[in-house]
Amino acid sequence: MNEYKLFINGEWVASQGNEFISSVDPSTGEAIAKITKGKTADAQKAIVAAKQAFVSGAWSSLPMEKRGQALEKIAQAIRAHAKELAEIESRDTGKTIKQATFIDVPTCADTFSYFSKIKHELEAKKLNIAAPVDSKLCYEPVGVVAAIAAWNYPLIFFGWKVAPALMVGNCVVYKPSSVASLSVVKVFEIIAGILPAGALNLVTGGREVGEEFARSADVDMLTFTGGNQAGQEVMKLASTNTKKLCLELGGKSPNIVFSDCDMDAAVGGAMTAIFMNQGQMCVAGSRLLLEDKIYDEFIAKLSKEAQRLKIGNALDYTTEFGPLVSREHRDGVLKFIEQGKKEGAKLVCGGKIPSGAEFEKGAFLEPTIFADVKNSMTIAQEEIFGPVLSIIKFSTVDEAIKIANDSKYGLAAMVWTKDKAKAESVSRALRCGTVWINTYGGFYNEAPFGGYKQSGFGRELGVEGLLECMQLKHVCRDTTPGGRSLSSSWF
Q: Hey, what domains does the chain have and what are their CATH numbers?
A: 3-249+455-475 (3.40.605.10), 254-437 (3.40.309.10)
What region does 192 belong to: left with phi over 0, alpha with psi -120 to 50, or beta? Answer: beta
The number of helix segments (H) and strand segments (E) in the chain equals 16, 23
Whether the per-residue pLDDT at 488 is higher than 60: the answer is: no
Q: Give the Å distances, CA to CA, from 335 to 115, 301, 304, 330, 379.
A: 42, 27, 24, 9, 10
**Coil, strand, or helix at residue 35?**
strand
Q: How confident is the model at residue 484 (pLDDT cuts 50, 70, 90)?
A: low
| Cα angle for residues 300, 384, 336 (degrees, 5° grid) | 80
Whether the per-residue pLDDT at 169 is higher than 70: the answer is: yes
When pLDDT is averaged across residues 136-143 and rounded to a whole number, the result is 95
Q: What is the pTM of this model?
A: 0.97
Edge-to-edge strand list for the sheet holding 125-127:
125-127, 133-141, 470-478
Nearest-angstrom CA–CA distance, 405 and 452: 11
- pLDDT at 418 (0 to 100): 98
> Quick one: DSSP state of residue 321?
B
Q: What percent of the chain has pLDDT over 70?
A: 98
Whose CA is closest to 93, among 134, 149, 146, 140? 149
More confident residue, 460 or 485: 460
Q: How confident is the model at residue 48 (pLDDT cuts 50, 70, 90)?
A: very high
Across all residues in the chain, what is the average pLDDT?
Answer: 96
* Of the listed ranges 127-136, 140-149, 422-431, 457-466, the one predicted with least confidence: 127-136
Question: Residue 282 catalytic?
Answer: yes
User: Tens digit of pLDDT for each residue in 287-327?
Assistant: 999 999 999 999 999 999 999 999 999 999 999 999 999 99
More confident residue, 120 or 398: 398
User: Does residue 248 contact residue 225 with C-beta atoms inside 8 Å?
Assistant: yes
Nearest-angstrom CA–CA distance, 152 and 180: 8
- pLDDT at 285 (0 to 100): 98
User: Tens digit of pLDDT for each residue in 406-448?
Assistant: 999 999 999 999 999 999 999 999 999 999 999 999 999 999 9
Q: Quick count: other Cβ atoms within 10 Å of Cβ 72?
A: 17
Nearest-angstrom CA–CA distance, 346 and 344: 6
- pLDDT at 16 (0 to 100): 84
- pLDDT at 120 (0 to 100): 77
What's at 156, amino acid-wise?
Answer: I
Nearest-angstrom CA–CA distance, 248 and 226: 7
Following DSSP, what letter does each residue of 170-225 receive, concatenated?
-EEEEE--TTS-HHHHHHHHHHTTSS-TTSEEE--BSHHHHHHHHH-TT--EEEEE
Q: Give the Å distances, CA to CA, from 393 to 307, 320, 423, 436.
A: 22, 28, 18, 20
Report the Cα 148 to chain-centroid distance in Å. Answer: 10
* Residues forming a β-bridge with 127: 135
Report the Cα 414 to chain-centroid distance in Å. Answer: 18
Question: Residue 138 catalytic?
Answer: no
Whose CA is closest to 344, among 368, 323, 374, 319? 374
User: Does residue 78 contact residue 108 with C-beta atoms inside 8 Å?
Assistant: yes
Whether the per-residue pLDDT at 485 is higher than 70: the answer is: no
**Coil, strand, or helix at residue 260?**
coil
Q: Give the Å distances, CA to CA, from 382 to 248, 339, 385.
A: 16, 11, 9
Edge-to-edge strand list for the sheet holding 3-4:
3-4, 31-36, 20-24
Nearest-angstrom CA–CA distance, 174 and 168: 16
Among candidate residues 108, 246, 261, 282, the one labeled active-site is: 282
What's at 162, amino acid-wise?
Answer: V
Whether the per-residue pLDDT at 482 is higher than 80: the answer is: no
Helix ranges restricted to H, 382-419: 397-405
Among candidate residues 171, 212, 246, 248, the one labeled active-site is: 248
When pLDDT is averaged across residues 96-109 and rounded to a whole number, the result is 98
Whose CA is closest to 288, among 398, 413, 411, 406? 413
User: Tens digit of pLDDT for each residue in 240-273?
Assistant: 999 999 999 999 999 999 999 999 999 999 999 9
Nearest-angstrom CA–CA distance, 97 and 81: 15
- pLDDT at 352 (0 to 100): 98
For the CA atoms of the chain, what is the radius of gyration? Answer: 24
Nearest-angstrom CA–CA distance, 201 and 67: 17
**292-295: which pairs have CB atoms within 8 A and are 24 or more residues apart?**
292/393, 292/394, 292/395, 293/259, 294/257, 294/259, 294/261, 294/263, 295/393
